[in-house]
Amino acid sequence: MQGFYGGGMSEQVLLLNATYEPLKVVPWQKAVQLFFQGKVEVVETYDRKICSVHLSMKVPAVIRLYRLVTFRHVRQMVKFSRETLFARDCYSCQYCGKRFERHELTFDHVVPAARGGPKTWENIVTACRRCNHRKSGKTPDEAGMRLLRKAHRPFWSPAILVMMNLNSRAPKIWADYLFDPSRAVLVSGAFDTL
């Protein structure tokens, strides 16, 4: 499938669980592959088309798995990294509660690494530089600081928020699938106006 209407394509596709919960973001090529393998249904499409000699179809925007991926497997899909940590914490300092740009954030070991604190989801939180400096090798209690939320392994894939942050805007067509009030995932104002 080489030819495209409208030039080169860089569309990303939102992959949903069978229950319509967002799992991750995949390239459009992977979405088409999953569709032809019979693993997903196309729920929403972009206006652009993919054309070959024998086929013409709209580019998928949102796809849904036919088979349920249990949350145990979803948790395993969440790779621990600076980006996924910041996404889990909604780009907010877990001490002062203020929201920051990615370059203004750092991560903090709740139990300092020098005291044997592990590099795990349950011991690392997002912190602004000021709060991280203030805590400086102490526990929150010793520094007179309080964590706003207990650190935890994510129950959802922060790949969505990571992609939104990297691309600055999520496609508007994804809006109905990303908001989940039970998890308070920040997505308001994060959509293209197109």
Domain ranges of the chain: 3-74+156-178, 80-143
pLDDT < 70 regions, the chain: 1-10, 71-77, 155-169, 179-194
pTM: 0.56
What is the structure's pLDDT at 28?
Answer: 93
Q: What is the pLDDT of residue 162?
A: 54
Q: pLDDT over 90 for what percent of the chain?
A: 49
The pLDDT value given to residue 71: 62
Assigned CATH topology for domain 80-143? DNA Binding (I), subunit A (1.10.30)
pLDDT for 91 equals 86
CB 98 within 8 A of CB 61: no
Per-residue pLDDT at 8? 45
The confidence score (pLDDT) of residue 179 equals: 57
* Helix %, strand %, coil % of the chain (to 5): 30, 25, 45
β-pair type (12-16, 56-65): parallel
Q: In terms of DSSP H, where are the helices of 111-193?
A: 129-135, 140-143, 159-167, 175-178
